[in-house]
Amino acid sequence: MDKSGIFVGGAIGIISVIAVFGILFTIPSEVPKPEIAIGNENSLNKVGDSVTSTATLETTYSENLSLIEIFEKSEPGVVRVNVQRAESIEGVGGVGSGFVFDKKGHIITNAHVVDNARKVVVTFLDGRSYNANIIGSDDYTDIAVIKVDADLSDLQPLSIGDSSNLKVGEQIAAIGNPFGLSGSMTSGIVSQLGRLLPSSGAGYSIPDIIQTDAAINPGNSGGPLLNMRGEVVGINTAIQSATGEFTGVGFAVPSQTVAKIVPILINKGEYKHPWIGISGTDIEPDLAKVLKLADAVGFLVVTVIKDSPADKAGIVGSTKVMETETGRYAIGGDIILSVDGKEVRQIDDILIHLQRAKSVGDEMILEILRDGRTTNVTIILQERPNGN
């Protein structure tokens, strides 16, 4: 491994930074939703059990709060998550964070925080602790839902904001339990949006990730990333570091993903991801020159998995390799130029579009360049097969 890595956890893990293609994120339709509080503290929209599509994030904009006000408003809804692993001895385990989702006792945290847990204990601001059950977990977005049978006075749900409104440079705050230090708050800015982050599910990446310079350390995982109105806009998930300690680059799963995944985990216990079945590479300048393209944009399909949705739609992978003085290149495959009319400059554009807009069973229209001609190909998204 090189000197940098992505560190996750209450129990810290290291995974290499890879960009992997073939998993696409979405939400099945017609699934009942639990009640979700959306908006600011004084004007909450309720998404009730009758709603059958993804929770709509309709933030009522208000004046920004001070960091002191954000902490006082949010701290009661942030919890400490202690985990005993299946392989650990009594008293030894991981520590992470979480936050209250609803008055039914659902707590949101990271999947890697509760992975392989034989016992989960949630501790609230007033010091009261409760055993928690794992309701659902999704490794491919690193989101988990646990549930406690707690006193209503302890259950103070945080408002879910709309991460799509975030701007680079916007101030944000993180609350959690770094190194087990309960109720710690840090602040910073949104450093970038739309990052790809490797998931613990081998071979896939989480799209649309928020990058921040707010200090995130082991133990912060699962805690809320808040905008200056005190709304949750992300779940603190990982850091990039050579040592496992904060170095100025942290990552959070956006609230748009939370709003899609969490209701399904509560109702079904798992989240079914659609599948395309391709791998490839972004078009960079040297490859564009080899392919005789005017611009270095698009995504070159190198491999199409047999019987995948892409294969059934007739997408073509690379057929030969060309060696030049600048390198060795797979060529001959389809080049994806746009998805549903949205320009594709790199793989991130495909993944983010599917994360936000597509479901299993949906049609997806790809504009491709093949043999010097552009054409449209329609793919029917299917559920990813188990074990891939």
Work out whether strand 43-47 and strand 232-240 pair parallel, antiparallel, or are unpaired. Answer: unpaired
To 5 degrees, how large is the angle CA 161–CA 105–CA 139?
A: 65
Q: What is the distance between the terminal CA atoms of the chain, rounded to a whole angstrom? A: 24
Q: Is residue 149 annotated as a catalytic residue, yes or no? A: no
The 3-state DSSP composition of the chain as helix, strand, coil percent (nearest 5) reads 15, 40, 45
Is 142 tagged catalytic?
yes
Is 112 a known active-site residue? yes
CA 221/CA 98 separation, integer angstroms: 8
Over its C-alpha atoms, the chain yields an Rg (Å, rounded) of: 21
Burial class (CB in 10 A: 0-12, 13-18, 19+), 343: exposed
Q: How many residues does the chain have?
A: 388
The 3-state DSSP class for residue 215 equals coil
Q: Which residues of 165-189 are buried (b: 16+ CB within 10 A; e: fewer)?
A: ebeeeeebbbbbbbeeebebbbbbe
In angstroms, rounded to a whole number, what is the distance separating the alpha carbons of residues 280 and 21?
7
Among candidate residues 97, 106, 112, 139, the one labeled active-site is: 112
Options 163, 184, 191, 221, the catalytic residue: 221
CA–CA separation, 184 vs 174, rounded Å? Answer: 8
Per annotation, catalytic residue among 139, 142, 154, 282: 142
3-state secondary structure of 357: helix
Q: Please state, in angstroms and rounded to a whole number, the distance separating the CA atoms of residues 96 and 11.
A: 8
Give the CA distances from residue 369 to residues 284, 295, 334, in Å, rounded to whole numbers and listed in that order: 16, 13, 6
Q: Just list the catalytic residues.
A: 112, 142, 221
